[in-house]
Structure 1
Amino acid sequence: MRIQYALKRGLFIGLMAMFAGALCADPVVSLSDTAKVVGKSEQGVDAFLGIPYAQAPVEALRWQLPQPAKPIQGTFQATQEGAICPQWQQGKFKGEEDCLNLDVYRPEHAKHKLPVLVYIHGGNNQTGEAHEFKPQALAKALNAVIVQVNYRLGVLGFNPLKALKTEQPIQASGNFGLLDQLAALQWVHQNIQHFGGRADQVTVAGFSAGGRDVMTMLISPLFKGKFQHAIVFSGGMTTAPVAPSQQVFRQAFAPLVVHDHIKPNIASAQAWLANGGKAVRDYLQQLPAERLAPLMKGAGIRMSHFPHLYRDGAVIPKQGFASTDYNSVPVIMLSGQTEFSIFALTDPYFVKAWHDGSLVNDPDMLSKYQFVYHYGGKLYSLFNVQQSAQRMFAHYKAPIYATEVAFGNDPLVTRNEQMALLGAFHGVFMPLLDRTWRQALLGKVFQQPGAVDLSKQFRRYLAHFIRTGNPNGQHLVRWLPWSPKHDNQGQSLLVLNANRHKALIQMSSKSYDEAVLLDAMAKDHRLSDQAKQEMIDQVLNGRWFSNSLDKRFHVPSLWPKS
């Protein structure tokens, strides 16, 4: 009996070990009879990392259209993040040109095909990476497949120089980073079903530069039918004219030409670059990414410093957002209430005082900061949501859902010194998706009960939206579509806020009037006229949202004179 018991017990333990091993086995996806992708499981989510969606844009493929990735043969180990694209961060070069890869996350043990959220990272189209936030918690909360994309950045991702153009109109656009995003969406359409996603239920979302890219997708004929819904986190309407952009690029590349003894001075170098031709193209092709990445660094949401998203007529209409032909899909547009805070704090005027802590102890500096914080925040929020919605509304054939995050503005709620300076900052929504995001800076602000409740409700809106194109659901404050006609009593903006204990969400008739804001700036006497003009000339000038401000206060254009 003891022998039989021991045998049975040993068999039971062996079976349990086998079963546990099966549960812990790495997830495997079959793309074909001969191609498999092996991922890893973490935090209740299957992750497939660094999957190539296009060929490496190197050598002859640099500054060319993204080419489809070569089919996987055998087994691809997708257990480590892929390379990020070349960029200049904190005084250092990072990345490599073989960077056109993406990450796929899905909840473990999903039984049905799930909606897909494709996320485009921010960074002014100059910096950033696919893994901008940890998507595991969001994938489970939305019960969705999440795809995060690396795409070409900086002068490797956007370049209008004449020498690089071929006779192919799409290639000649110079919008290579945007075309990479198109290639990623095409990869999703062709492959996501193998990962448990629905190719007919794709939402494209982006933050900051990624949000502006998504806005551009709404007017680009190339993106028609590539996604069913869109989410724009702090985006807005930005494009660049081709000819002035070429001039900015010639100015940026000319010092390299002189340094390499191709031409004797800046003027002759710019003329040589303007003429184009094989010699120029060959020179540009051989420049290492380490020398290209720092060009036009520190653009700081100023299109004149790093022009991109060119109105070429093939990828982006020549009339830009004056176009009336939209890829009309349901869209959410979001902004923080004080979006400009982080750009003010990192501006050369304030950054040292912020880092050494003297900003809050210097009444003069603090007054100047509060001025740009207040007016820059309102102008940026207006630009991100209201101006875009108003411009689109007449010709857009799908609902526009507008929202503004107010959480972060009340220091009695946040009780955090950095949040007192940041407020509802650029990216304030991010900790609502991933509570670990920037925790070293933000502390436990987003882990208090009110913020957690806000996070849960915000995620529920998103979960409904990525399935139906309508964010509304049971036990949620009804979110009305944007309407300037006031047929909903003017309540067109969902305000997301919380106290220390619970979420505070409501529809609001709040709106910004640019002319009224500029009048208020002119009449604001908390600063001397000299100090006020200094803030306008040096900190607020030339930003995405500054066209009317620059004209009102006679600020010279930052674009080069032709």
Structure 2
Amino acid sequence: MAFTRSLFVPALLGLFGFLAPAVGVPDQVAPGDPAVVTTDSGAVRGVVSDGGRAFLGVPFAAPPVGERRWRAPQPAVAWSGVRDASHFAGACAQQARPVLGNPEVTNEDCLYLNVFTPPGGSGGKPVLVWFHGGSFVSGSGAHYDASRLARTGDMVVVTANYRLGAFGFLAHPGLTAEAPDTGSGDYGLMDQQAVLRWTRANAAAFGGDSANVTAAGQSAGGLSVCGHLAAPGSRGLFARAVIQSAPCGVASRPAAEAAATGRAFATGAGCLGSAPAIVACLRAKSAAQLLKVPTSGAAPWWPVSGTPVLPVAPGQAIAAGEYAKVPTLIGNGLDEGTIDTLIVESAGVHLNALTYPLVLSDLFKTNGPKVAARYPASRYGNDYRLAFGAAFGDYLVACPTREAARHLATAAPGRVYAYEFADRSAPMLYNMHPDFPLGAYHGAEIPYLFGYLPAGDVKLNPAQTRLSQTMTTLWSRFAANGAPDPATWTPTTADPYLTLSLVPDAITPRTDFDAAHQCDFWATLPPPTSQGSM
């Protein structure tokens, strides 16, 4: 059976979609008007309600179009008057993802962010900057309504777009020659650095403390935070980190591998000749044309290590203790791999007694039989889908997250807090209707912290609402002072690994994480890499 790792790549993704763009509108500023804030580029008018303020579609960089495509982000162009900030801006260009319900987007003028503040005009509040997930090929800051998190957590929350796919992560020798100070392939990561710099410059205007910024994200957004922990250009831009469902060991791909992908992409686009000619040809293509260029291999678009922007792979930097040692909140879902099961089956592979060992052998090569023996279907109600989900989730997310957290705790003892989201009745976020239980799947914790707009009005039952309130409190306390709740949440150590299990009305420390996820077994196998990982 032909079965490649590329089937797994889209499985662990975050959030995607787009809404209407913001439009600049000259206006008059009323003295003391809470709807108007002056940024370093000009004044913006947001929306004020009893629950707080929202400033949507605020530019943090110049549009990366034309000759600015595949270059480091440039400062936003200043404007006069008051810019309308009452609507989300459009998402960055991305291919359609039908299995998750998001359409193709060809918009490149997308470097905008959104600011949510709590009610009241006092300043000095902690700031949380959220980077969306989506496998680095999809997603949008507009998917997250952070008004509840800002209000209940009494903090300022920023959500942002960043360039995706080939627009954000194309590495090519011709592009590297143009910008040897940054190299090529990390444009999306540089966009995020621009968001953090904008936040530092403008937080006070929105009531925030520019010296108390938390960089946070889930899935690819969490992997981005791993990158910022290691990236020299991100140092000093944030004081704390939140990494959700994102094992830092797969947060980048080597420069040589990325350059090979880039050369193949240019050939597929019909751009040949000298390096400058290839770059000029690629810049002349429309976004729609580039989105149709075929790519091969798993995870072709990913942050690139071995560049001036990201000299060392984040997982290696963290293991060596060579990273920004800030307080970190890190964790995973109990059932991370069930979404991967859906992706496998959506590709036409029904997991059963015949196909299960074949899939494992394709993924784990000669170790496939060992994995099958460790994860027999009989342990999961004779459901091979659940067996595969457990194996893949432990291999890709749970145990690598534990490994990263242990390294973090070794280098920064007493400042690393680990969790496991374990509500197996969490509502479904994605455009999927499985006939088997997904449990606490990848991304299931999102509505407990944010309003998630693509999913519509997600309903939490009373017990889940209480869990949501507790999580909001814990996350906001961490953002405020680096310690979520000393009375109930003990910082983890390298050994033993200590996690807080987040279950409705049953939040308790978990002491059997290693055994439950069979981490000792996975330590004997080759670790996951960026290829075929998320």
Q: TM-score, normalised by structure 2?
A: 0.78
1:335 matched to 2:335: no
1:492 matched to 2:494: no
Q: In structure 2, how many angstroms separate the alpha carbons of the residues matched to 1:29 and 1:109?
A: 14
Q: In structure 2, how many angstroms separate the alpha carbons of the residues matched to 1:320 and 1:48?
A: 33
1:376 matched to 2:392: yes
What is the CA distance between 1:167 and its match in structure 2?
A: 5.5
* Number of the residue aligned with 1:508: 510
Q: In structure 1, how many angstroms separate the alpha carbons of the residues matched to 2:228 and 2:448?
A: 25
Q: In structure 2, how many angstroms separate the alpha carbons of the residues matched to 1:546 and 1:194?
A: 52
Maintained 8 Å contact 1:328/1:397 = no
Maintained 8 Å contact 1:39/1:78 = yes
* Number of the residue aligned with 1:243: 256
What is the CA distance between 1:483 and its match in structure 2?
A: 0.6
Q: In structure 2, how many angstroms separate the alpha carbons of the residues matched to 1:466 and 1:332?
A: 9
The higher relative CO (CA closer than 8 Å, separation ≥ 6) is in 2
CA RMSD of aligned residues (A): 3.5
Q: In structure 1, how many angstroms separate the alpha carbons of the residues matched to 2:169 and 2:525?
A: 23
Pick one of 391, 396, 399 that aligns with 2:415: 399
* Number of the residue aligned with 2:488: 478
Q: In structure 2, how many angstroms separate the alpha carbons of the residues matched to 1:181 and 1:558?
A: 24
Q: In structure 1, how many angstroms separate the alpha carbons of the residues matched to 2:171 and 2:92?
A: 19
Pick one of 255, 267, 279 that aligns with 1:254: 267
Pick one of 461, 482, 487 that aligns with 2:474: 461
* Number of the residue aligned with 2:306: 312
Within 5 A, what are the aligned runs for 1:267-416?
272=273, 276-295=274-293, 304-318=298-312, 320-323=314-317, 324=320, 325-349=322-346, 367-383=383-399, 385-396=401-412, 399-408=415-424
The one-letter amino acid of 1:29's match is V
1:223 matched to 2:234: yes
Q: In structure 2, how many angstroms separate the alpha carbons of the residues matched to 1:206 and 1:180?
A: 15
SS at match of 1:230: strand
Q: In structure 2, how many angstroms separate the alpha carbons of the residues matched to 1:144 and 1:190?
A: 17
* Number of the residue aligned with 2:356: none
SS at match of 1:169: coil
What is the CA distance between 1:439 and its match in structure 2?
A: 5.3
Moved more, 133-142 or 363-372: 363-372
Q: In structure 2, how many angstroms separate the alpha carbons of the residues matched to 1:182 and 1:87?
A: 21
1:54-94 residue CA offsets vs partner (Å, 9 max, x unmatched): 11111111101101112232211111111211011236421
1:438-475 residue CA offsets vs partner (Å, 9 max, x unmatched): 656x964xx212111111111111121111011116xx
1:279-309 residue CA offsets vs partner (Å, 9 max, x unmatched): 1111111111112234567x9xxx8331421
The one-letter amino acid of 1:197's match is G
Pick one of 45, 61, 78 that aligns with 1:71: 78
Q: In structure 2, how many angstroms separate the alpha carbons of the residues matched to 1:187 and 1:410?
A: 35
Moved more, 87-96 or 71-80: 87-96
Pick one of 101, 125, 135 that aligns with 2:112: 101
1:244-285 residue CA offsets vs partner (Å, 9 max, x unmatched): 22222333342321xxxx6xxxxxx6xx5xxx5221111111
The one-letter amino acid of 2:526's match is S
CA 1:120–1:519: 2 relative to 1, 3 Å: closer
Q: In structure 2, how many angstroms separate the alpha carbons of the residues matched to 1:192 and 1:164?
A: 33
What is the CA distance between 1:546 and its match in structure 2?
A: 12
Q: In structure 2, how many angstroms separate the alpha carbons of the residues matched to 1:410 and 1:54?
A: 37
Maintained 8 Å contact 1:465/1:471 = yes
1:548 matched to 2:498: no
The one-letter amino acid of 1:94's match is V
What is the CA distance between 1:558 and its match in structure 2?
A: 7.3
The answer for unaligned runs of 5 or more in structure 2 is 1-29, 352-377
1:402-459 residue CA offsets vs partner (Å, 9 max, x unmatched): 1001111699xxxx9859521001111112113666656x964xx2121111111111
Higher CA-based Rg: 1
Q: In structure 1, how many angstroms separate the alpha carbons of the residues matched to 2:525 and 2:68?
A: 37
SS at match of 2:193: helix
What is the CA distance between 1:158 and its match in structure 2?
A: 0.5
The one-letter amino acid of 1:185's match is L
Aligned residue pairs: how many?
Answer: 463
Within 5 A, what are the aligned runs for 1:102-141?
102-141=113-152
Q: In structure 2, how many angstroms separate the alpha carbons of the residues matched to 1:386 and 1:424?
A: 17
Q: TM-score, normalised by structure 1?
A: 0.74
Maintained 8 Å contact 2:216/2:222 = yes
* Number of the residue aligned with 2:97: 90
Pick one of 158, 163, 166 that aligns with 2:169: 158
1:103-152 residue CA offsets vs partner (Å, 9 max, x unmatched): 11112323233111101001011100002221111111101111111110
Maintained 8 Å contact 2:53/2:119 = yes
Percent identity between the two aligned chains:
27
Q: In structure 1, how many angstroms separate the alpha carbons of the residues matched to 2:294 and 2:525?
A: 21
